[in-house]
Amino acid sequence: MSDDVATTAQVLSTNIFDSAAEAIEAIGAADVLGLGVRVSNRLVQDEESDDTLVEEWIVELLTSVPTADEE
């Protein structure tokens, strides 16, 4: 996260999704409810294969929408 984004919002929940489509749906729902989101992704080892990495999407729901300072 960049330094110019206010981080005063509290995290309500952290949700992990297997696909970007699921994460986008959660982001849309948060928008309807007026909540902020923080989104990231990561690679984790596949539970079925030791040689394969799979992508997970992490969507944190925040109490308010973070704002960026205008400079």
Q: Is the pLDDT of residue 50 over 90?
A: no
Residue 59 has pLDDT above 90, yes or no: yes
Write 47-54 long-range contacts (CB < 8 A, 24+).
54/18
Region of 18 on the Ramachandran plot (φ > 0 left; ψ -120 to 50 alpha; else beta):
alpha
What percentage of the chain exceeds 90 in pLDDT? 69
Overall pTM surpassing 0.85 (yes/no): no
**What pLDDT shows up at residue 5?**
53
